[in-house]
Amino acid sequence: MFSTSCHYGLQAMLHIAYHHDGKKNIDLTQIAKEQDIPKHFLSKILQLLVKKKLLISTKGPSGGFRLVNSPDSIHLIEIIDAIDGMGVFTQCGIGFKQCDDENPCPIHDDYKKVRNNVRDLFEDKSLQELVEDTKHGKSIISLRGTGK
């Protein structure tokens, strides 16, 4: 449903949120290494998130990226919208360009329900909720430097 760029953006934003203290910048190389994301590709994604005002970028020895707002005020839907756009929640599940409510594909109604549920999930979940789940062991991933 989402592009690779979007998946990487979500992972990177979660990584940055995990280390968030409001002042500390997180180094691009650290994020790329720990999340196993190609550095050059990640750089472009993070610059897009800077342009969309979700991140702040700072150059220099203590440079890197940090969140514009606190993790509890950033919802996953904002990251998706910044990278893939909201069109991902209206696209046909089979890929037909003309599929809509007036001209539905064979799975239109069922897929529309799934898309709406996924959109609701990403609208409701904040970065802080994901960070808390990770810190409390409710997540299968670790953001403590192992990359997995």
Is the Cβ–Cβ distance between 139 and 130 less than 8 Å? yes
Q: Which residue has the higher pLDDT, 119 or 133?
A: 119
Is the Cβ–Cβ distance between 108 and 92 less than 8 Å? yes
Is the Cβ–Cβ distance between 103 and 26 less than 8 Å? no
Band the pLDDT of 148: cuts 50, 70, 90.
very low
Q: Any idea where the domains of the chain sit in the sequence?
A: 4-135
Band the pLDDT of 61: cuts 50, 70, 90.
confident
Is the Cβ–Cβ distance between 131 and 71 less than 8 Å? yes
Assigned CATH class of 4-135: mainly alpha
Q: Which residue has the higher pLDDT, 44 or 139?
A: 44
> Would you state the pLDDT for residue 146?
45
Band the pLDDT of 138: cuts 50, 70, 90.
confident
> Would you state the pLDDT for residue 62?
87
- Residue 15's Cβ-side half-sphere holds a number of Cα atoms within 13 Å equal to 29
